[in-house]
Amino acid sequence: MAERTPNIRAEVDLMILDYLVCLAVSRLLAVVGNSHMFSDVEWLVQSVETFHSIIEGHQLEYALPSDLDLKLQIFHIVNSYCRYTPPSDCRHLLNFTPLSHIAVEFMQFCYASIEHVSRTRWFDLGAHIMAHAILEEKDRFPEPLRRLCSWTTDDDELNAYWEVSCGMFLEHIPPPYGTAAPASREELDRIFDVQLLHDRFTGFVEDLMEVLDAPLLVQLEQGQLIGLTREETQRVIEACRF
């Protein structure tokens, strides 16, 4: 068999990366809130990172497909979120990524991808993450938390949405960040059940992934490419000898 041309190799690797990143996001969401199970999907995370490096090595003359680029950004956020555990002491903070930093990345991603996300769900989830970041990290990571609490856009309407969402959570948090009366950590943990946050995060990402195109390999497996009928797809499969 003749060796594949560089362009064909790159296209095949892109299809594989698209498939892997969607699979990785799905598997990561399945272990959200169970960081002890992360090792079960570590190999898949590493596979995505490896293939991403391979794609960069192809030195493509064009940008990554926008759909795949969005999926990679989602993968990065979900991967960081799944790895997060509240800091217990200073000994484990060397390579620690604060939840407030993850939240800022999430907000920036949604703002850049605004045509794909629900404004109310985006802001409600961002504010929900912010509330937990305040409870877990307020004295340890003041700079990331400051950037999160002062996050804003150039759009007054969006800023109004964000302010309302923040208010729904901050009214239950004591000063200096919120307006509620002082409360014990046990009371705050009851108000801000972390499982509710995990469920909201998982639901948001699952719905967002549904908006994006399924990987080409999955479309072929299902027998219908986007934009083609099943009969047309079958002719493509036969012509390409898949």
Whether the predicted pLDDT of 6 surpasses 60: no
Residue 80, pLDDT score: 94
How many other β-carbons are positioned within 10 Å of the β-carbon of residue 105?
16
pTM score of the predicted model: 0.85
Q: List, for residues 209-231, the tens digit of each pLDDT value.
A: 988 877 766 666 656 555 556 77
pLDDT confidence band for 1 (50 / 70 / 90): very low
pLDDT at 237: 56
Q: Average model confidence (pLDDT) for the chain?
A: 84
* Both structure tokens of 158: 């969006």
Contacts (Cβ under 8 Å, ≥6 apart) of 59: none
State the pLDDT confidence band at 2, using cuts at 50, 70 and 90. very low
Give the best-scoring range by mean pLDDT among 46-50, 106-110, 222-226. Answer: 106-110
Dihedral of alpha carbons 24, 63, 110, 99, sign: positive
What is 39-94 written as a DSSP string?
Answer: GGTHHHHHHHHHHHHHHHHT--SSPPPHHHHHHHHHHHHHHHHHH-----SGGG-T
Alpha carbons 125 and 52: distance in angstroms, whole number: 28
DSSP labels for 201-227?
Answer: HHHHHHHHHHHSPPPHHHHHHHT--TT
